[in-house]
Structure 1
Amino acid sequence: MTQSLKRRFLCQTKDRSVRLGDATSFGRGRLEYLDENEGWGTVCNQAWTQSDSTVACNHLGFNPLSAYDAFPASGGDDLPIVLGGLRCSHQTRLDECERDYDWTPDSCMHSQDVGVQCKPPVGMRLLTEYNFAGIPSVYYGRTWGLFCSDNWNINAARIFCINYGFQDAVSIFDLIGDPATLPSTIVNTISCTGDEEYFTDCPQIEWAYHGECSQNTRLGVVCQVGKKSLSIVNPNPDYPEYGRVEVTVNKLFKGTICNKTWDQAAANVVCRDLGFKRGAQRFFTIGGEDKGDIFDSVHCTGDEDSFSDCRSELVPESRSDCNHTQDAGVECVANDDTLIVFLRGAGSYEGLVYYRVEDRRALICDQTWTDKEAAVACRMQGYECGTATKVVDLGPEVSTNILQWDIVCNGNEERLKDCTVTKRDNPTSCTPENIAQVRCGPKEGKWAPGKN
């Protein structure tokens, strides 16, 4: 059969009495009926109602519980007008409907040929013991059947899951077995972009009755329930906005992100989703020894409200384009309300000084750090005064992400940004023993606990 004929008669019932001609997409086209005397012809839209469309789509083999639309159709001038004056109600076939006995083909013109849009074109269900994962099944031609895995990918799964009422597809998998024990196949081949409204709008779809799959495979799908959960994993707990990104979906499946499609847009969405107001300062690759699944083909435009709206596919590491030495990482911009924080001390009143300058939050080298600068830092946290003193013993693991800036205060400023802050042209090495630390007090009329 030529490609033009395939397109012209894209939908047709098994009894070959009704079809859609010149279909522009699956389930949409000019309605044509096989008259026992005239052969194939068009249908007149005089007095055509929603009930007529419903019966027509049901006759074509589509889901009888769906909604349907009708429209004026063109291109049937070479065919006779063979049917009209229908008064359908709850019938399942057009030839079962009542008709106006005074209707004749001469009362219609081809400008009144009716077209129908059956949507969604098929019924669907998920054969599963779980409510979000299992074997996708479709209803077509008055029977239920399965998909072959030929050309099936995450884009087709995404459309199926969304049509079925889920937010997205998480992953796909093959089911291998004896054809005699597997259900019948009804879709041999399908190829989608992931942007279709219905999966039957996919540009390539091949239907079959009781067909056979190559390699005896059928497919399964895991659909997404609710939002994906994000976390930033960093061996250094003092730097919570920096590290490897981990994603959890359905409260069950967890994975890292492959860096092959990781970019600034995706990093911004991740940081905003985690509650950081201004997105990501930078994105990077961060190697690790982790095992487990990986989210491949992550794509965000940058305008998404949540990372759940970005596209991705969770796959085993053996099937991924990445390994865990290529996990994606992010450094989020700290929010204004966390401009400064003291960490690793005995309480919130003392510790290492983490401060944000030019959208970067890091430790401060203490080469210009005195009691004046410490007093301003403590004032930012609500304390009356403070001193520059060592309160934490540090190891070499904190020697990275240290700001090489000169911060000079007179001690009366309300915030460190009001002090003179100068970036060094030739920064010197800052070792852990040179990291700025502070002890604050009193607050709300009291000194810090246990301090005099």
Structure 2
Amino acid sequence: WAAVFILLVSFTIPTSTDKIRLMYGINSCSGRVEVLYNGIWGTVCDDGWDLTDAAVVCREMGCGDVIEAKSAAYFGQGSGPIWMDDVNCTGTESSLMNCRTRGWGTHYCQHSHDSGVICNLTVRLVNGDNSCSGRVEVLYNETWGTVCDDGWDLTDAAVVCREMGCGSAIGASRAYFDQVPGQMWMNTVQCTGIESTLKSCRSYGIASCSTAVTLVNGTHSCSGRVEVRHNGIWGTVCDDGWDASDAAVVCREIGCGNATEVKSAAYFGQGSGPVWMNNVSCNGTESTLKNCVLSGRVRQNCSHEKDAGVICGPKLRLQNGSSSCSGRVEVLHNGIWGTVCDDGWDLTDAAVVCREMGCGDAIEARKGAFFGNGSGPIWMNNVNCYGNEQTLKRCRSPGWDVQNCNHYKDAGVICQCESNTYIKMRLITLPSRTLLVLVYTLD
């Protein structure tokens, strides 16, 4: 399944120095700036601290470009000496210590003026349930790429979690968070576990690895014709022998829960290109479809009239709306349905919901339990979608199980396929009678 091209040169990219560190940031590339002098760690005063100075720190830390230069102890007050004041870098220095200052330990400053930086992080997690889970991607040559799972283990995952400011690693998954086309930057990663960044770990160059699975032409993101990518080309799966065990593996691999229906005979329309898999025989426990037993890949005795498909159990629903494309947003997590808090809820977030539900564009993002109060847990809060996510769960949020919100703030949506005509009832009391008036309004 994988054509792996390996550059047989082990390399290590230095990403930091033992003379500078960033403290109490949200990840390894943000925090209060501290420098080591005479064996003692101390801080940097924010007098004159600007983007040029911060850029030197980011480059020295191996953290790419600077995003923000922070002042006034943004990341908390440090302790010990204030080693540097009135820092004045030209921007070309290789180390902050090479920039002009008043002199070591000479300052007119307090720790309430400790400086900090936010740099462009060179690792990110994509398509996870929250900001601390997902597919590992690294930034190299200004391009985001993935990491091949050859040899990927909990030691490697631990470095990523620490770099992201996410604590300890719970699991190291392979091809679990959806596979994507594009550049793969690292292969056969070998971390010792003490590295501060993933790029500090040994690896063996650039590789092309693994296959991808997606669902096409379904009514929502968790249904459709099964397609797999092999050698960079998308193709279909023949329905010979296609059953519930095979479908279950696909649903789990794309993060769509359990399989509810097994479809055959091009139920979701005929695909194009090669028929990559035939007579698939999964036992149901495999993590990816490519791990299932099959009698062959490209088969001449199968046509696109027999393309296989699946319908997976939804992880999103709209409740109490006037149609299937409007209502209170509810998500399924750990087998339990719960709501979404409306803190930060906007049209971009609603657009992801509408697309996931197969309901076209979003018309309105509703707040304040517009569709009534839900019940059970409030699973998500402060949802922050880019707008191009396939599912709501892939948007950024602080994590599952919200404790600082109530159901009177349940979020809702009205999507495009919802009728633009609404009927409102109004009671008008006159001296002699009460009239029930139906008011039609176009939104």
Judge same fold: TM > 0.5, yes or no. Answer: no
Structure with a larger share of its residues in helix: 1
Tell which structure's C-alpha radius of gyration is larger.
1
TM-score, with structure 2 as normaliser: 0.36
Higher relative contact order (CA 8 A, sep 6+): 2
